[in-house]
Structure 1
Amino acid sequence: MEKFTITQKERIGELNGTTEMMEMEFETIENRDSSFREMEKSMVKESRTKIKELLHEKYMTKTVEVGRNLEQWLMGEGFTKVVTPTIITKQMLAQMTIDEYHKLSEQVFWLDNKKCLRPMLAPNLYVVMRELKRITNEPVKIFELGSCFRKESQGAQHMNEFTMLNCVELAYVKDGQQLDELKRLAHAAMKRLGVPEEEYELVVEESTVYGSTVDIEINGMEVASGSYGPIFLIVSGECLIPG
């Protein structure tokens, strides 16, 4: 049996084809190449139709639409939107326990020996959270939607620049109720996006940064992840415990 070539698989991936499409088998090379041409033609036509709909009907990409939807939901939950710098320091990564020996360090885009493009939103958010707590002496709930950067190596569907949404809260939830609140937020987020409960599941996984996390998975693929305190992070010589 014949399978698509590497070049053909890459093209199918560029056109948002599925893994199942890439792994199709054919009796002969001629059948494979003929099927590929027909498949490519159909997907190109579909892509052009979607682009025209975007320009003349929808006026925003799905990423922007989902982001705005979740932003409105979070603000309704009492979270305040913040915007933080894209460039962070090596020290800020170290505060997240990501040093040169951590496996995530290999994915960081370094600008020089002290600064890099943020691989995640959390370092800045924890600093902002700490300062707001210090200034107000009140519970803090903030979130950010922005670009992050990683040298991804997990396949053609992973990009080096991607959009991440991260929300954090400190001292809003009573001790012992963190997991229930995390699950509530997870279900509420999926409901906001119109995803029925039977189409996803909450899974507890091990994390290289947070110890353990509660992940939202659809067909075995992680689409969101959350964790709860106490998480010990060293910030400017102090011990920060997000709750």
Structure 2
Amino acid sequence: MIPWTQTQTQRLNELNAPDSALKKSFDGEPAREKAYQALEKSLVTTQRRRLAEFQTTHRRPELCRLENKLAEMLTQDGFAQVTTPIIMSRGLLKKMSIDSKHPLNSQIFWLQEDKCLRPMLAPHLYYLLVDLLRIWKRPVRIFEIGPCFRKESRGSKHASEFTMLNLVEMGTPENTRRERIQDVGSRVATAAGVKNYRFETVTSEIYGDTIDIVAGKDGLEIASAAMGPHPLDRPWKINESWIGIGFGLERLLMASHRSRNLARFGRSLAYLDGVRLNI
């Protein structure tokens, strides 16, 4: 018995073939080729139907629709949306302990000596909070949704450009922080259509011990949460109890669709609303 060729497997993945189809094996090459042609034709028909539906019904990629859905939910829950620059200074990254020796430094897209495309949203949110904590009453709740950039390792679960949702709540009672993370994290995951997820304690390169939200039997990380007071607060002269959660929106879509390919859901010239265009 022989499996699909590597080229056939790649093409079937692009066309979102189900796992059951990808695991098939065949008596010989003629049987495999016949099955491949029939399956590809069927998948292409399905993808063309999805594109037609997108043109006449949705008209906005699912990533955009998810951004709007989560923003509406969070504002209704008392979070204020903020928008910060995509270009970030080296000085702000240093406040997050990211210097030339930090593992993340090699993943940053530097534009010039002291400017880069932001690899995360947190430094700019810290910057805003310095003023907002002075002006607003507690609790202070803010969030941002926007693109981030990293020279990620190649693979179906990574991309150099991806969309993050970061939310922060300042003034959370210390004895309720973990419960609050689980409450807000569950609301976002459920709103994104993720059904099978769990919370796990892990170690992060930046925040140390964090609480990750992982989905599915493969344990796809869809979010990472931290709480304070935290040593990273000191450069900002912040000394309050807080929680923060960062979600990858493309990974939320991967989990909700049980997909193996993050590229289907991100900003792309090859896909539109999850459909491969070379069909």
* TM-score between both structures, scaled by the size of structure 2: 0.76
Distance 1:46 1:100, change over 3 A: farther
| Aligned 8 A contact 1:87 1:117 in 2 | yes
Equivalence for 1:200: 197
Q: Could you tell me whether the CA contact under 8 Å between 1:233 and 1:240 is conserved in 2?
A: no
Partner of 1:177: 176
Distance 1:18 1:122 in 2: 37
Alpha-carbon deviation of 1:44?
Answer: 2.0
1:218 lines up with 2:215 in the alignment: yes
Q: Secondary structure at the match of 1:177?
A: helix
Aligned to 2:112, the other structure's residue is in SS state: coil
Identity %: 36
**For each residue in 1:167-211, what CA deviation from the matched residue of structure 2 results, as whole angstroms up to 9, or x when unmatched?**
11222x112211111111122223334544xx2222222211111
Q: Distance in 2 between matches of 1:67 and 1:39?
A: 34
SS in 1 for 2:111: coil
SS in structure 2 of the partner of residue 98 of structure 1: coil
Give the SS at the match of 2:227: coil
Does the 8 A contact of 1:141 with 1:170 survive in 2?
Answer: yes
Taking the aligned partners of 1:111 and 1:20, their CA distance within structure 2 comes to: 45
Please, which runs of 5 or more residues in structure 1 have no aligned partner? none
- C-alpha separation between the residues in 1 aligned to 2:31 and 2:108? 43
Aligned to 2:132: 132
Find the aligned partners of 2:19 and 2:123 in 1 and give their Cα distance.
34
Q: CA RMSD in A?
A: 2.5
Matches of 2:162 and 2:150, distance apart in 1: 8
Which structure 2 residues correspond to residues 1-243 of structure 1 after superposition, within 5 A?
1-17=1-17, 22=22, 24-136=24-136, 138-171=138-171, 173-196=172-195, 199-219=196-216, 220-233=219-232, 237-241=235-239, 243=242
State the Cα deviation string for residues 9-57 of structure 1 (Å, max 9, x = none). 3333333346665555444333334333333322222221111111101
Bigger relative CO (Cα 8 Å, ≥ 6 apart) = 2
CA distance in 2, matches of 1:118, 1:19: 36
Q: State which drifts further: 55-64 or 19-28.
A: 19-28
Summarize deviations over 1:51-96 as a string: whole Å, max 9, x none: 1111101222221222111111111111100111111112222222
Q: 1:111 to 1:30 in 2, by over 3 A?
A: farther
TM-score, normalised via structure 1 length: 0.86
The 3 A distance-change label for structure 1 pair 58 and 99 is same
Paired residues of 2:127 and 2:236 also in contact (CA < 8 A): no
User: How many residues of Structure 1 are paired with residues of Structure 2 in the alignment?
Assistant: 239
* Separation in structure 2 between the aligned mates of residue 113 and residue 97 of structure 1, nearest angstrom: 17
Measured after TM superposition, the shift of residue 157 of structure 1 is: 4.2
Once the two structures are overlaid, the 10-residue window that deviates more, 117-126 or 90-99, is 90-99
CA–CA distance in structure 1, aligned partners of residues 163 and 16 of structure 2: 18
Cα gap change, 1:126 to 1:64, in 2 (>3 Å): same
Q: 1:15 to 1:106 in 2, by over 3 A?
A: farther
Cα distance in 1 between the residues matched to 2:24 and 2:112: 45
SS of equivalent to 1:48: helix
Amino acid paired to 1:38: A
2:271 equivalent in structure 1: none
| 8 Å CA contact 1:232, 1:241 repeated in 2 | no
- SS of the residue corresponding to residue 156 of structure 1 reads coil
Give distance in 2, aligned partners of 1:7 and 1:101: 39
Distance in 1 between the 2:206 and 2:50 partners? 38
